[in-house]
Amino acid sequence: MRALATWLVAGAVVVVGVAAVADAVRGDRGAASWPSASGARSGRPGGPPPAIPNRTSASARLLAAGAAGVLEVTDGRCRRFRLRLPELAWTSPSGERQARCLEPVVRAPGGELAAFEEGEDVIAFSDWPGWQARFEGTAPSFRPDGILTFLRHGELFEWSGRCPGAARLVNFRTEHEVRRCVRSVLSRRVVASKLRRLGLRMTAYYLTATAWLGVREVATVVRGRFPEEAVVALFENGRVRAVFPSYGTRLGRLEGSPAHSYLAATLAYSSEIVVLDRRLRVRQFPRGVAAVRALSWSPDERWAAAVTPDGVELFRADGRGLPIHLALHAARVEWR
């Protein structure tokens, strides 16, 4: 427990050096790829949109606050609708049924490639040629340049185009076919070594979530054997740039904003969130926003929409004002 006690008192934003990460991939069981007969949407109409009982009052608050855009709302029956803000007017008379809707799907910039987690595997797919590949891993995410990354055994890997001659290659098929191989980005050994130098002594050093803030800048949740041992560590060009300590609170998902100015981290006990800036400084704890199931940022990064069991909460990134509640039951939302 001495390691845990040491870790709990060490929480500060720091700047330190980190050595280069290893390229070897251990325990790689490869990837299987195959053509897919089903895309991301089935195209069948799914009936009228859900009701919003507090439409009038919520719309007035959104108009006064300057919120705008379109929310793509997916309900629990896998129907997708478009909701225009601030009027809260449905622009799709009937919902389009989605073949994949309840899995948290992440998409590459440009949208040609996407991926989601299924058990202990990641499934990458491309709508256009109907291709997909399954491989061992969790927590898929994309770098801003479109490179797919994932976690395996608590370490960060990528599907790289920089492949040695003996590497096992997999063809990724989008509009253009490219060959990729698995490459290590951050090993547990490196993460442990560098965080220990900061005095962050934990019982283990497992990566459990990631969010890319730049091509070479990734925020990671690092967890010990105890779930309450957790920090968010920001790596840039192989160096730890900042650390956000959870002070004994479990950390869950990470969700970066479109231009990478903000990062939302889920506090796992109550699924509340904390909004950080790109140097992991706390900007706000959105009031009254809890049990968050999914989150989406507005394209201009001024707002975020959080899906909860009671509806959808819209809150400002700068922390001004109270969240605006929509009495709208949804599985997921995407702000367009």
| Domain range summary for the chain, segments of one domain joined by + | 24-40+99-184
Q: Tell me if 305 sits within 8 A of 312, measured CB to CB.
A: yes
Report the relative pairing of strands 121-126 and 106-107 from DSSP bridges: unpaired
Nearest CA to 318 out of 305, 301, 306 is that of 301
Residue 158 CB neighbour total at 10 angstroms: 20
Distance, CA of 217 to CA of 236 (rounded, Å): 4
- CA 272, 273, 274, 275 dihedral sign is negative
Residue 275 CB neighbour total at 10 angstroms: 21
Q: Which whole-number Å values give the CA distances from 261 to 159, 164, 300, 332, in the listed order?
A: 25, 35, 10, 22
SS (H, E, C) the chain: CHHHHHHHHCCCCCCCCCCCCCCCCCCCCCEEEEECCCCCEEEEECCCCCCCCCHHHHHHHHHHHCCCEEEEEECCCCEEEEEEECCCEECCCCCEEECCCCCCCEECCCCCCEEEEECCEEEEEECCCCEEEEEECEEEEECCCCCEEEEECCEEEEEECCCCCCCCCEEEECCCEEEEEEEEEECHHHHHHHHHHCCCCCCCCEEEEEEEEECCEEEEEEECCCCCCEEEEEEECCEEEEEEECCCCCEEEEEECCCCCEEEEEECCCCEEEEEECCCCEEECCCCCCCCCEEEECCCCCEEEEEECCEEEEEECCCCCCCEEECCCCCEEEEC
Note down pLDDT in tens along the chain; length 336 residues: 434 334 433 343 333 332 332 333 334 445 655 544 334 445 555 678 989 999 999 999 999 999 999 999 998 888 899 999 999 999 987 777 776 676 788 999 887 899 999 999 999 998 777 789 999 999 999 999 999 999 999 999 999 988 988 889 998 988 778 899 999 999 999 999 999 999 999 999 999 999 999 999 999 999 999 988 999 999 998 789 999 998 888 999 999 999 999 999 999 777 899 999 999 999 999 998 999 999 999 999 999 999 999 999 999 999 999 999 999 999 999 999
Distance, CA of 85 to CA of 150 (rounded, Å): 34
263-272: burial string, b at 16+ Cβ within 10 Å, e else = bbbbbbeebb
